[in-house]
Structure 1
Amino acid sequence: MPVSEPRLFKLPDVGEGLTEAEIVKWHVQPGDTVEDGQTIVEIETAKAIVELPCPFDGVVAELLVGEGETVDVGVPIISVDPGGDGAAATPVSEPPAQTAAPREEGVPTANEPGIVTPEEPPKRQPVLVGYGVKEGATKRRPRKAANGAAQAVKPAQPPVRPPAAPPVQPPAPRPQPVGNGLPLAKPPVRKMAKDLGVDLATITGSGPMGSITREDVLAAQAASQQPAPVQAGPREERIPVKGVRKATAAAMSGSAFTAPHVTEFLQVDVTRTMETVKRLRELPEFEGVKVSPLLLVARALLTAVRRNPMVNATWVDGPNGAEIVVKRYVNLGIAAATDRGLIVPKVKDAQDLDLPGLARALNALTEKARAGKATPADLSDGTISITNVGVFGVDSGTPILTPGEAAILAFGQIRDMPWVHEGELAIRKVTTLALSFDHRIVDGELGSRVLRDVGDMLEDPIRMLAWG
């Protein structure tokens, strides 16, 4: 009688080309029965916490990745036995050489014997920079071979290989060389090693297929310098950088050193805006909706984009040279501070919303983000952004561009200040706006015009009707 093969669920790309995720919480344990579509695990990507459903029925045989571990897309995370006997997935013999995926230019191939899934031979996933994820690279307990005979496995020994395959050595493998003879490592890791003066050939990698990670390079540098051991005590705390904070740091560093930033500032009398906000709150169209000055700032920026489309663009370096892609739609990003760090959910196609619709969209999206329920789709494909630093009691700042966007508007706190109004000194409601822009796309004249347009509409909101 044939033995049912356990099925392996590999970590999927949940959107926007994400390459890895952290296992936050398992909702099932070995021996539990699962159904197709049942939520089995929560993962944290670089953008959001996502619940993953099981794609098939069966009994959980094994959790292949523990909570708190980070795993690459394409690596199996759970084994499910469709027959219900709880048998775990096992390694199978190496397929013939001609079945391996062809080598792609600039992408190293793996020639080492490995653990593969029952369904298909090893191949490359096109999700990582420099090399792909080798499917089925996770080690598992032995299981029945395809012909139903048990594979001979010695206790506490690596699985027995066919004679044609080289034996697996118990010690950790050295980094696998790529075609040019260099150890396996991503380009950013190679650059880090070069900058720190670390020889990659001396490092044993801890990443997939023995690849060298940033942590390996830093550990090698620390070992070479032999620093005095530092222990965390009651006067300090060490917080791992991962998830949203890790992604934000990488994105902001990349943006700051890629796009030439220019920031302009403008003080604005927003007394009439505050009066308009008060009147809007009394209208039945806004019943049950939070109406704040940010709503009118967002509407003013959308109107300014319609009048100056080039500010809603992105710079693209392609094979045939650089291009400026002007977007005819506005996915408006609103920066939100959450317990997981700063995230920027997007109001998709914000240009098509009326004022009550925009208010509801802003409310729903920011509440969703702060509750940790924003999806990768909510946080992707932005075209221009607003950061409301005024809620922290800050007058202004120099915001860093969201990668891929040409401009970001900072909205400062609204303060009572002495102001010359209609020829006389008076106490008015005043705020400071700051517009950062990519100087490759937006020159000083265009940036100034956009900022001035937003300021004029906040000084006199009736202009939004005239210009909209």
Structure 2
Amino acid sequence: MLLHSRSGASTSRRLLSSAATAGQRHSVRTLTQASRTQHAQPQHQQQRQEQQQQLARSRLQTPSSSRTTWPASAASARRAFATTPRRRQPTRKTETKPYLLADVGEGITECEVVKWFIKAGETVQEFDPICEVQSDKASVEITSRYAGVVTKLMYGEGDVARVGTPLCEIEVESEVEDDVGAAAPSQGSTPPEAESGQLKGEAQQPTNDSQVGEKKVELEGFIATPPSQKRDKGEILATPAVRRVSREHNIDLADVQGTGRDGRITKEDVLRFIENPSPASSKGPAPSAAPSSSSASAPSAPASETQVEDLSPVRRAMFRAMTSTLAVPHFAYSDEVDVTALESIRQQLSDVIPAKYRKTLPAASAGTDVERVADEARFDKLTLLPLLLKALSLALDEHPLFRSTLSLPADAAGMDAKAVSSAAKLHRRASHDISIALSSRVGLLTPCLPGVDRQSVFDIAASVTRLQTLSASRSGLSPSDLRATGTVTLSNIGTVGGTYTHPLIPPTGQLAIGAMGRSRHQPRFASDVPGYKKGSLSPEEEDRIVKRLIMPVSFTGDHRVLEGVELARFVGRWKQLVERPDLWFGLLK
């Protein structure tokens, strides 16, 4: 029993001794780890600082276009993803396209390049003006159909370009489908050098938002600063839609401040100008008036000294057109037309012009929803010209030969008369297309009024007013107004003065042209009044002198096709319809 107690006590002492030893060992390990942590902490902080400094140096040395750093696992995933096929994506491919000179008018085969608005190597956008060409009819501004880089100009200023030949060459971009998955390894995987750099902790340089903001503000300031100097017509950059809006509001684009690229005028600029119509020159400091080239290059010449100057583009075109008329044998026919009755009808119609055609609405139509014609086509006074055009259309119904145009072979100049006559063709039209001669800012123009037979007198008056308004403005007539040609031209020289003239037929294939002089009141016998029936007046009344409004007219026909009697009969029927407007009631459809 005693022995057992001693052995138990000995065992207890051994257990206590072991526990104490274990506790000491645990304390020693705890102290050792704490000591190691205390010794390792400064070393860890030093390594961390070195890594941060190395990362900062790499950011300074790494260009902004470097790759994004991927972790090792992300780089592996990126390589795996690059080997999988992807969808086909479009890539850019450039090709050079020739810009052909389109048909700018019926019967026009060549044009003179007056001015280039672009140079080789410059970038153009769609609808940007390329050049200005001068045909036998008018000056036309050619706009681009492509967006790209101009690589070559085929003609110089003053050269003559034929319709259908290239004016210039433009390099454009087109999209081609490519398989991205079949790309080269450099496109689908990360190079080993880049991966090793990424594993070392290199990162892409972050975007500096402040720098981007500064560049954006600087760019916006550049775009929003337009030139303050007023430009001439050739320097105005605007799309056809913008020009149409300006014409509808009768606005000179040279007075509008452009805020687009290179001073381009946008639709918003025009609308802003309508709300606040201030000239463009007032938005910036007024430039000093530049002297003309003649006055700047040399002092003013004495009055006795002869000055030599070149023909303007419009006069050169007129020179070519009128020279070509020398090959046409003209037959002239003149007469007098009594327009007293027609003038009375004109006055009556002027009092009943429908509201849709008026510039100013009458009080009865104010506040009502009235369908109106364009601003440039409105009028408050009816002239004789629309009535004369309508009478000419009625005469064309009975003389269809004058609804024809003559076409000759292209090499007619080098052929004899027999060969030319065998190849000549007459193109007879169903519609009554009549041209009118206008004296515009750029020269003589002959725009066409198509389908006069389908228009009322007020419709014809609106069309004439529109052409007259646009021809007098800086924007001018559109190419569509000048592209078509009539079979007969009517010119009103009475606005200038004079009685008879000898008009020349335009080289567009038409067969006749007429000109009206100034109408004057002249004495006539009562028996000479249009519509007089013999025996309706007594001999004393027949010899009575009355005041009549007389208009002299002169017509010219192409004697290669027309007989003299055919022209005389046609003019005679037109004269009868003008003098007797009551006959229209049986002819109008």
TM-score of the superposed pair, with normalisation by structure 1: 0.59
Partner-residue secondary structure (3-state), 2:494: helix
1:360 maps to amino acid: A
Q: State the match for 1:111 in structure 2.
A: none
Does residue 335 (structure 1) correspond to residue 429 (structure 2)? The answer is no
Does residue 305 (structure 1) correspond to residue 409 (structure 2)? The answer is no
Partner-residue secondary structure (3-state), 1:387: strand
Does residue 418 (structure 1) correspond to residue 523 (structure 2)? The answer is yes
Residues 416 and 429, structure 1, Cα contact 8 Å, conserved in 2? yes
Residues 345 and 366, structure 1, Cα contact 8 Å, conserved in 2? no
Does residue 388 (structure 1) correspond to residue 456 (structure 2)? The answer is no
Does residue 282 (structure 1) correspond to residue 344 (structure 2)? The answer is no
- Match 1:366 to one of 468, 476, 480: 468
Which range is displaced more, 421-430 or 289-298?
A: 421-430
Distance in 1, Cα, partners of 2:149 & 2:424: 52
Distance in 2, Cα, partners of 1:323 & 1:61: 41
CA RMSD of aligned residues (A): 3.3
Classify 1:237/1:387 alpha carbon distance in 2 versus 1 (closer, same or farther; 3 Å): farther
Q: State the match for 2:139 in structure 1.
A: 49
Distance in 1, Cα, partners of 2:405 & 2:169: 40
- Match 2:113 to one of 19, 22, 45: 22
Q: State the match for 1:295 in structure 2.
A: 386
Q: State the match for 2:502 in structure 1.
A: 398
Q: State the match for 1:185 in structure 2.
A: none
Distance in 1, Cα, partners of 2:503 & 2:488: 12
Q: State the match for 2:101 in structure 1.
A: 12
Does residue 245 (structure 1) correspond to residue 302 (structure 2)? The answer is no
Unaligned 5+ runs, structure 1: 84-231
Q: State the match for 2:126 in structure 1.
A: 36
Does residue 357 (structure 1) correspond to residue 459 (structure 2)? The answer is yes
1:324 shift after superposition: 4.2
Greater radius of gyration (CA): 2
Residues 302 and 351, structure 1, Cα contact 8 Å, conserved in 2? yes
Residues 505 and 512, structure 2, Cα contact 8 Å, conserved in 1? yes
Residues 127 and 145, structure 2, Cα contact 8 Å, conserved in 1? yes
Residues 60 and 79, structure 1, Cα contact 8 Å, conserved in 2? yes
1:332 shift after superposition: 0.4
Residues 151 and 168, structure 2, Cα contact 8 Å, conserved in 1? no
1:465 shift after superposition: 2.5
Partner-residue secondary structure (3-state), 2:109: coil
Classify 1:50/1:399 alpha carbon distance in 2 versus 1 (closer, same or farther; 3 Å): closer
Distance in 2, Cα, partners of 1:254 & 1:233: 37
Classify 1:51/1:342 alpha carbon distance in 2 versus 1 (closer, same or farther; 3 Å): closer
Distance in 1, Cα, partners of 2:569 & 2:155: 53
Structure number with higher helix proportion: 2
Does residue 269 (structure 1) correspond to residue 338 (structure 2)? The answer is yes
Q: State the match for 1:431 in structure 2.
A: 551
Q: How many residue pairs end up in the alignment? A: 316
Distance in 2, Cα, partners of 1:64 & 1:233: 42
Q: State the match for 2:371 in structure 1.
A: none
Residues 338 and 548, structure 2, Cα contact 8 Å, conserved in 1? yes
Which range is displaced more, 238-247 or 360-369?
A: 238-247
Residues 447 and 482, structure 2, Cα contact 8 Å, conserved in 1? yes
1:435 maps to amino acid: F
Classify 1:283/1:3 alpha carbon distance in 2 versus 1 (closer, same or farther; 3 Å): closer
TM-score of the superposed pair, with normalisation by structure 2: 0.48
Within 5 A, what are the aligned runs for 1:221-260?
Answer: 234=303, 235-241=305-311, 243-258=313-328, 260=329
Distance in 2, Cα, partners of 1:447 & 1:317: 21
Deviations 1:317-365 (A, max 9, x none): 5774555443332210101112322121111122221222111122222
Residues 23 and 65, structure 1, Cα contact 8 Å, conserved in 2? no
Does residue 466 (structure 1) correspond to residue 586 (structure 2)? The answer is yes
Partner-residue secondary structure (3-state), 2:524: strand
Distance in 2, Cα, partners of 1:239 & 1:332: 36
Residues 134 and 317, structure 2, Cα contact 8 Å, conserved in 1? no
Partner-residue secondary structure (3-state), 1:378: helix
Residues 10 and 78, structure 1, Cα contact 8 Å, conserved in 2? yes
Q: State the match for 1:326 in structure 2.
A: 428
Question: Once the two structures are aligned, what percentage of the paired residues are identical?
Answer: 22
1:417 shift after superposition: 1.6
Residues 312 and 407, structure 1, Cα contact 8 Å, conserved in 2? no
Residues 133 and 142, structure 2, Cα contact 8 Å, conserved in 1? yes
Distance in 2, Cα, partners of 1:69 & 1:460: 51
2:556 maps to amino acid: S
Partner-residue secondary structure (3-state), 2:506: coil
Which range is displaced more, 364-373 or 71-80?
A: 71-80
Distance in 1, Cα, partners of 2:124 & 2:406: 46
Within 5 A, what are the aligned runs for 1:138-153?
Answer: none
